[in-house]
Amino acid sequence: MGDADGSAAHPHLLRLVRGAPVQRNLSDAIHAICAVHGDHPGMVEEALNRLAQPAGHDWLVAVADGFTAERAYLSRLLAAVGPLPSTPGQSETASALVGERHTLEMLARSDRAGCATGAVAALLHDWVPIRRVLDVAAMRFGIDVVRPSFPAEPDTARIVATLGAPPSGERAVTFGAQQLFAQHRGLWSLLEARASARDDL
């Protein structure tokens, strides 16, 4: 699901990780990713606090620890890339990013068993292509690239399979994942539209 529905295949992300992307576009992406995923508590911490599926506690703790390091990396990148590129429609962009963060928090706080699990698992899956953008920006702006420290992919697959085992749980996991991927696709489409408005495509 993630390869087709998530960030990896979005044309704008591909522009940012191939060749020599426009510096303003990289800066814009870092600002947007920070707006959605750079604050604490993030959606993983919200899922851990709600803990709709207690059996996922240790996995969520490990994911949250990984995102603590990712937020520190994002903070260094944000300081390095400088101010947000001047772009028409900035107030609308700010509102859209707040709305996306709110939607992800609602997924994480869901009492429906499996919804938050699916969303967090999808975030881990989608963070791989997002991390490629972060690392391109790090190399462009002179920041040391650090390795992510998330649970191993087989461990995540195993816990998601366990938590999504009942038919209703499987549907909830799928729903949470689909919603996360949809929000991220919307984020890249927004950034693509902003780049077009700056004549940076």
Please state, in angstroms and rounded to a whole number, the distance separating the CA atoms of residues 21 and 170.
39
Domain edges within the chain: 2-197
Q: What is the topology classification, in CATH, of domain 2-197? A: Heme Oxygenase; Chain A (1.20.910)
Structure tokens at 99: 């709305």
Length of the chain: 201
111-128 pLDDT per residue, tens: 999 999 999 999 999 999
**Model confidence pLDDT, tens digit, residues 90-101:** 999 999 999 999
Q: What are the tens digits of pLDDT across the range 127-168?
A: 999 999 999 999 999 999 999 999 999 999 999 999 998 777
Burial class from Cβ neighbours inside 10 Å (0-12, 13-18, 19+) for residue 30 reads buried
Cα–Cα distances (Å) from 29 to 18, 56, 188, 193, in that order, read 15, 31, 8, 12
Classify residue 109 by its DSSP letter: T
- Beta-carbon contacts of 94 under 8 Å, excluding residues fewer than 6 positions away, are 35
